[in-house]
Amino acid sequence: MTATESEQLRYIAAQAADARVNLEIETEGMTLNIGPQHPATHGTLRIVVKLDGEQVIEAEPVMGYMHRGYEKLAEVRTYPQVTTLVNRIDWLGSFANEVPFILAAERLMEVEAPPRAQWIRTILFELSRIANVTLFLGDMAVQVGAITPVFFAFRDREHVLNQIESATGGRFHPNFDRIGGLKDDLPAGWVAETRQAMVKIRSFCDQISELVEGNEIFQARTRGVGVVPADVGLSYGLSGPNIRASGVDWDVRRDSPCGLVYDQVDWKVWTHPGCDSFARFWVRLQETREATKIVDQLLDDIPSGPTMAKVPRIIKVPAGEAYVETENPLGVMGYYVVSKGDLVPFRVKIRSASFSNISIVPWLLRGVYVPDIITILGSLYFILGDIDR
């Protein structure tokens, strides 16, 4: 794409203008393996970068070290079993992984969850977003060298995880969503406790914004680093906060809220025109705050009623195909489910957000310095399970 190329050239020129090594001196390039075992890769992503001094000439992500074959596994698992599996794709916001799959299956079976179930689903969805993004807020600070914020992140994420656990029984892998509703209803006192947790999360956001966002060094490290122009981002399939940080006002929650009750609450989609790493951090910080607001509003009026629609005990999904996507913490996640009327899905194609998000990495890393690689990777925020599936 020509727009892509020209944007990139301009970007490289801007990056290299002030301190480009004199090209007439013959220097030996160096190939540096970042990963598969490296603190910045959150697991086993490997990025092969060719360096000229400290400047990246070429970068290539190597994926698949953690490939677990979920799409294939799903073909030999019944629908309830698949729910357990897909939990583990993005392990930090795991409830959010179940939802689009369940929604796709529900669409095929033509059942709809009762309003109470939809409501609770949305609450848990946002809670898992908070659990995921709070960790990003701390982790991003660690990537640029500040150690303390990540401890705050783990500390306050605990409140949210406790709520998820006391409702679903699973701290990391809730496995709470069922075709036609939810496994169980909320325990008594859960609403009040969640409200308290939201207060804690808001104060955590304030702390982070003072400790990290407002910090001059952090801004110097992130502003203007890893600029993703909107058209480039869209052409690479970026989604979620990453594309909203490039000023694209696109949020599946608002634009096509299928099965979730985002249209019932008053909230805002945050965008930032900065396109850089700082913008991505800022958007996520605002989204965490917004998520606490959504949860608070939803908690106010959960409708009463059953949490499970009438579904047969043994689930056989009628033949057909459905694609449902939701706005997961990492970006747009979609499940394309093809059924032949069996107990097991015929084919499940998972569109995970991180996989698309890091496809821009080679484009983005060309011409940056080694420390910026880490900033960019950190700000794009991927979960290895979400890339390799």
Partner 1 sequence: MKLIPGLVKGLAVTGATVVRTVFPKRGLRTLIPAPSKGADTVQYPHVKEAPPTRARGVIALHEGNCTACMLCARECPDWCIYIEGHKEKAPPRRPGGKPRLVNKLDRFDIDYALCMFCGICVEVCPFEALFWSPEYEFSEPRIADLLHDKSRLSEWMETVPDFEDYETGSVAKKLKVPPT
Partner 2 sequence: MTAVLEIAPFAILADLAYWQVTSIRAIAGLAAVLLVAGTLVYVHLFKLVSFMQSRLGPMEAGPYGSLQLLAETGKFLQKEDIIPRRADRFVFCTAPFVVLVSTFLLVVVLPAGPDAWFISNDLGIYLAMAVSSVSVIGILMAGWGSASKYSLIGGLRATGQLIAYELPLLLAVVGVVIQAETMNLQSIVLTQAEGEIFGWSGIGNPFILTQFLGFAIFMIALQAELTQTPFDMPVAESELVTGYMTEYSGLRFLLFFIGEFATAGVFSAIAAVLFLGGWYIPGLDAGSELFNVIGPLVLVGKVVLLSLLIFWFRFTFPRFREDQLQKLAWKYLIPLSLANIFVTAVLKVLW
Partner 3 sequence: MSDLLVAQNVFFGLIAVVMLVSAVRCVTTRNVVHAALWLVLVFAGSAALFILLGSEFVAVTQVLVYIGAIIVLFLFGVMLTRASMGDDASVASEKRAMAALVAVLLAAVMGLALFDSFSDTRLVIDEPQRFGVVSDAIFSQYIVAFEAVSVLLLAALIGAIVIARKD
Q: Which residues of 99-111 are buried (b: 16+ CB within 10 A; e: fewer)?
A: bbbbbbbbbbbeb
Which tokens go with 127?
């809670």
Among 6, 9, 14, 27, binds partner 3 (CB under 8 A): 27
Which does residue 185 bind out of partner 2, partner 3, partner 1, none, counting CB within 5 to 8 angstroms by kind? partner 1
Residue 24 contacts which entry, partner 2, partner 3, partner 1, none (Cβ below 5-8 A, type-dependent): partner 3
- The b/e string for 236-252 (b: 16+ C-beta within 10 A; e otherwise) is bbbbbbbbbbbbbebbb
Beta carbon of residue 321, minimum distance to partner 1 (angstroms, whole number): 24
Q: Does 147 bind partner 2 (CB under 8 A)?
A: yes
CA–CA dist 149, 375 (Å, integer): 15
Q: How far is CA 59 from the centre of its chain?
A: 23
Query: Burial of 92 by CB count in 10 Å (0-12 exposed, 13-18 middle, 19+ buried)?
Result: buried
DSSP string, 341-354: SSSS-SEEEEE-HH
Nearer to partner 2, 154 or 346 (CB): 154
Contact region with partner 3 (CB under 8 A), list: 22-30, 68-76, 81-89, 308-316: 22-30
Q: Is 19 in the site for partner 2 (CB under 8 A)?
A: yes
Is position 371 an interface residue for partner 2 (rule: CB under 8 A)? Answer: yes
Q: How many C-beta neighbours within 10 Å does residue 350 have?
A: 20
Q: How far is the CB of 150 from partner 1 (least distance, A)?
A: 13
369 binds partner 2 (CB under 8 A): yes
Among the candidate windows 24-32, 73-81, 333-341, 356-364, which touches partner 3 by CB under 8 A? 24-32
Q: Which backbone phi and psi does 58 adopt, to 5 degrees?
A: -150, 140
Cα 379 from Cα 281, distance rounded (Å): 6
Asked if 167 is part of the footprint of partner 1 (rule: CB under 8 A), the reply reads: yes
Work out how close the CB of 214 gets to partner 1 at its nearest, in angstroms, rounded to a whole number: 4
Rule CB under 8 A: choose which of 70, 79, 136, 218 binds partner 2: 218
Rounded Cα–Cα distance for residues 290 and 268 (Å): 7
| Closer residue to partner 3, CB minimum distance, 1 or 30 | 30
Query: Comparing C-alpha atoms, which of 112, 351, 373 is closest to residue 226?
Result: 373
Number of residues that bind partner 3 (CB under 8 A): 6
Report whether the peptide linkage leading into residue 318 is cis, meaning its omega lies within 30 degrees of zero. Answer: no
Site for partner 3 in 28-47 (CB under 8 A): 28, 30
Q: Which of these ranges, 20-28, 61-69, 89-97, 141-149, lies near partner 3 under the rule CB under 8 A?
A: 20-28
Interacting residues of 208 by C-beta distance below 8 A, sequence separation 6+: 137, 138, 141, 149, 152, 153, 285
Q: Which stretch binds partner 2 (CB under 8 A): 64-72, 106-114, 147-155, 286-294?
A: 147-155
Q: Contact between 78 and partner 2 (CB under 8 A)?
A: no
Residues 6+ apart with CB under 8 A from 261: 115, 118, 119, 122, 298
Which residues 187-226 are close enough to bind partner 1 by CB under 8 A? 187-191, 207, 210-219
To the nearest 10°, the Cα dihedral for 50, 55, 58, 63?
A: 70
Segment contacting partner 1 (CB under 8 A): 23-31, 84-92, 222-230, 329-337? 84-92
Residue 9 found at the interface with partner 2 (CB under 8 A): no
Is the distance from CB of 89 to CB of 386 less than 8 angstroms?
Answer: yes
**Min dist. Cβ of residue 314 to partner 1 (A):** 10
d(CA 375, CA 144): 6
Contacts to partner 1 by CB under 8 A: 77-78, 80-81, 84-85, 87, 116, 148, 155, 162, 165-171, 173, 175, 183-191, 207, 210-219, 302-307
Contacts to partner 2 by CB under 8 A: 18-19, 30, 32-34, 38-40, 54, 141-148, 151-152, 155, 211-212, 215, 217-218, 220-221, 369-374, 378
Contacts to partner 3 by CB under 8 A: 22, 24, 27-28, 30, 53
